Amino acid sequence: MERHTTVLMQESIKGLELKQKAVVIDATAGQGGHTRALAEAVGERGTVLALDADPASITRAREATAGAPAHLIFVNGNFRALKEHAERAGITSADGILFDLGWHAGQLDSGRGLSFKEDAPLLMTLNAAPEAYQLTARDIVRDMKEAELAALFKENGERFPGRIARAIVEARKVHAIETAKQLAEIVWAAVPALARRGRIHPATKVFQALRVAVNDELGALQDGIAAALDLLAPGGRVAIISFHSNEDRIVKHAFKAAALAGRGSIITKSPIVPTRGEARENPRARSAKLRIFQKHA
């Protein structure tokens, strides 16, 4: 499995301005990198709730935080129900809340069709229970109309949405598109030759669009931010690391609306982005943006 490197680690932890004994929530435990750093920031008398919708991520986060200070609580659940999960864990307010919206290497290699390098079933579900989902990526490419597919890809920033949508529709007339590898090959053949020469695979935006749709990531983010703002203690901060423009737009607008409503202030007038060194060492960090909001004391 590809090694995972936590993005904007120092900037996000520093931006939360956590004190010893603080209560903090890692809304996306992932591989546990941020979780451990949060535990170290709040110390032995602090509390860290580590939440993740992917049960495998909870297992990895537990392993990564072994021996870390602080009282650690692990919960398998989606951050769209952040407030409910926190309250069940005995937390009614938090001094800091962190969201890292990126997907880690373990998920991309999970056998759920999230990587175009894998000949895996085209599911793209966040956890290992696809039966809990209304639809999978396989359902979308099988049933969605050409115009709807094109609109979905375009919304996610794909440069050739019409060509790719048309190619998918033509391909599914011949045989069912069952695996990630099949879909990646269809996209590869559909785009102009020049688009195949870059460092980024031509199917990247298409896979991202399908994954976001399957997991309702944008809807979950809106719900998660609302819950986080409610949970924050007076003077508490929420920090969110996003990785594509649709996510960042939601975060930006939510923070602006909260500020206009008099709930607090935006700490990051412009998003914090990775240094050149971090972007060079970790290509996945290139598109990351960190925004921070503080609730009024």
Report H helices in the chain. Answer: 9-16, 33-42, 55-64, 82-88, 105-108, 137-143, 146-155, 161-174, 180-190, 204-214, 217-231, 245-260, 276-281
Q: Is the pLDDT of residue 103 over 70?
A: yes
pLDDT tens digits, one per residue of 121-130: 998 887 655 5
pLDDT tens digit sequence for 204-260: 999 999 999 999 999 999 999 999 999 999 999 999 999 999 999 999 999 999 999
- The C-alpha angle 226, 227, 229, rounded to 5 degrees, equals 65
pLDDT score recorded for residue 278: 85
The reported pLDDT for the residue numbered 97 is 98
pLDDT over 50 (residue 114):
yes
185-211 residue pLDDT tens = 999 999 999 999 888 889 999 999 999
Q: For the segment 143-192, what is each residue's pLDDT rounded down to a tens digit? A: 999 999 999 999 999 999 999 999 999 999 999 999 999 999 999 999 99
**In this prediction, what percent of the chain has a pLDDT beyond 70?**
93
Helix (H) or strand (E) holding 48: strand 47-52
